Amino acid sequence: MKWADGTVSIGADTLEYACWGPPPTRAPTLVMLHEGLGSVGLWRDWPEQLASLTGMGVLAYSRAGYGRSSAAALPRPTDYMTREAIDCLGPMLDAAGVERCVLLGHSDGATIAGIYAGTVSDVRVRGLILIAPHFFAEPDGLRAIVEARTAYTDSDLKPRLARHHNDPDVAFFGWHDVWTSPEFADWNVADVIDHWRVPALVVQGSDDPYGTLAQVREVEDRTYAPVETLVMEGIDHAPHEAFPLVVGRAAAEFCKTLWRLENEPVSVSRN
């Protein structure tokens, strides 16, 4: 059940947000970070499902340029996801009164969560749930984004996005144009994985046009923290939309294990 929604000022931006489940004073919070075309509204009813499955509070917000949040200046810089992680995510956790949390991100949101965990020392963050993350550019993924422009201009994608964004052109081209810029071919932030100190669950569709299983292998090869993977065969870029209950239950089990381990008494041996 949604118990709060509205807007909050973060720096120069006014960001929309919504909360479900118990407040931060009563339970840990699952913080949802949307994809490159996403928003609070585009999570649809999944936040409420997650609150029910996990028993946690759920916070979702729309980044600047998305949903009902304030506009964003275009073109976005190549390091826009790093800037989002460093400049916005922490202040949003502060404004929401988050005390303990798991960051759950999809696509760009997963990357932002991973950058935050590997860049900012924040003891509130106890784990990561990353759906279709990308830590480096892949040629096939870049080609798929080039092709997405045709879907935006020639299909019903723009009117569908217009139902959830104040300015669908800013949402779409802010994402599309930076990913298809020549300099983005060399984009790589995988070194943040080396600095994770919290467990992660990585969910990936085997038929994702925007990223391959190489992204999952990068996490498995680089992180020193525990990592679980859920590869969903025949699924594309949004496993949580194709099978929300499957991904939701995996997220709930991951969080349950986190809190169980955190609350286990520590035995001290005496010689």
Domain boundaries, the chain: 2-260
**Model pLDDT for residues 233-257, shown as the tens digit of each residue:** 999 999 999 999 999 999 999 999 9
Looking at residue 35, its amino acid is E
185: which DSSP letter? G
Which residues of the chain fall short of a pLDDT of 70?
265-271
* Residue-level pLDDT at 271: 54
CATH of span 2-260: 3.40.50.1820
* Residue-level pLDDT at 268: 55
188: which DSSP letter? B
Give the DSSP per-residue string, 109-172: HHHHHHHHHHHS--TTEEEEEEES--SB--HHHHHHHHHHHHHHHHSSHHHHHHTT-S-HHHHH
- How far, in Å, CA of 194 to CA of 210, rounded? 23
Q: pTM of whole model > 0.85? A: yes
- How far, in Å, CA of 145 to CA of 178, rounded? 10
Centre a 10 Å sphere on the Cβ of residue 164 and count the other Cβ atoms it contains.
20
